[in-house]
Every structure is written in structure tokens, then in C-alpha cells.
């Protein structure tokens, strides 16, 4: 599992979607997408509806989308938001002072083969 520590983001309800995306990109850029892709290739792991392992840019985009989603939900609701899909988990939580804590990681878990 490759996990980044909690990253403190100064985001409020007034933060624009563009500013949220830029803050998230800084966090997601800390993941080693080359190693993630190599792991997926070694495990012959693909995403649904695509017979090949995703490229690094696709992995980056997937992680970014998940992080933007959880941060946006956390800002809207004031509650923790977490989503896992495609090996990525994004977790956002609001601190007492109003900043958002964001963690993102890639994790290989055991899964079944559904036919």
C-alpha cells in the first residue's frame, strides 16, 4: 500500500472548483504512478471495460477525480467523506479550525473473479 500522510488544505465553501483542483493536484502529485502502474501490470489488473492496465496519466486523473469528489463533499456537508475505487482511496475530513485533511492512497486488496 502506498499512502500519503494527511495533507492540510485551506479550503472553504467559498473556494472555487479550480482552486480545489489545484490544491488536490499538489497532493496527488506525491503518488508514485509509475510504481502503481507497474504493480497493476504485474498483477494483470485492469479496470472494468478496459482490457489493459491504465496509463500513468489515467491513474493520475482517477486519483485526482476521487480526491476532488471527497473534498467537495466534505466542504458541502462538513462531514468526513471517503471513496474507494480502482485501487485508490481518497479520504477527506474537516478539522476543527475548518481546514480539510486529505489522504489518498493506492492499495492492492484481494478480490474475486466475477464471471
Q: What is the pLDDT of residues 39-60, one digit of tens each?
A: 989 988 888 888 888 999 999 9
In this prediction, residue 62 carries a pLDDT of 95
CB 102 within 8 A of CB 9: yes
Q: What is the pLDDT of residues 55-84, one digit of tens each?
A: 999 999 999 999 999 999 999 998 999 999
CB 20 within 8 A of CB 71: yes
d(CA 94, CA 6): 11
Residue 58, SS3 per DSSP: helix
Backbone phi, psi, residue 69, to 5°: -60, -50
pTM of the model: 0.84
CB 83 within 8 A of CB 65: no
Residue 1, SS3 per DSSP: coil
Amino acid at each position: 500500500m502506498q499512502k500519503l500522510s494527511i495533507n492540510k488544505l485551506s479550503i472553504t465553501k467559498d473556494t472555487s472548483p479550480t482552486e480545489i483542483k489545484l490544491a488536490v493536484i499538489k497532493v496527488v502529485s506525491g503518488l508514485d504512478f509509475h510504481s502503481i502502474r507497474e504493480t497493476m501490470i504485474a498483477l494483470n489488473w485492469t479496470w472494468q471495460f478496459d482490457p489493459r492496465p491504465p496509463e500513468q496519466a489515467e491513474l493520475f486523473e482517477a486519483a485526482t477525480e476521487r480526491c476532488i469528489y471527497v473534498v467537495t463533499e466534505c466542504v458541502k456537508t462538513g462531514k468526513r467523506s471517503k471513496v474507494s475505487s480502482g485501487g485508490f482511496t481518497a479520504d477527506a475530513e474537516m478539522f476543527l479550525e475548518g481546514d480539510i485533511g486529505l489522504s489518498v492512497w493506492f492499495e492492492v486488496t484481494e478480490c474475486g473473479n466475477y464471471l
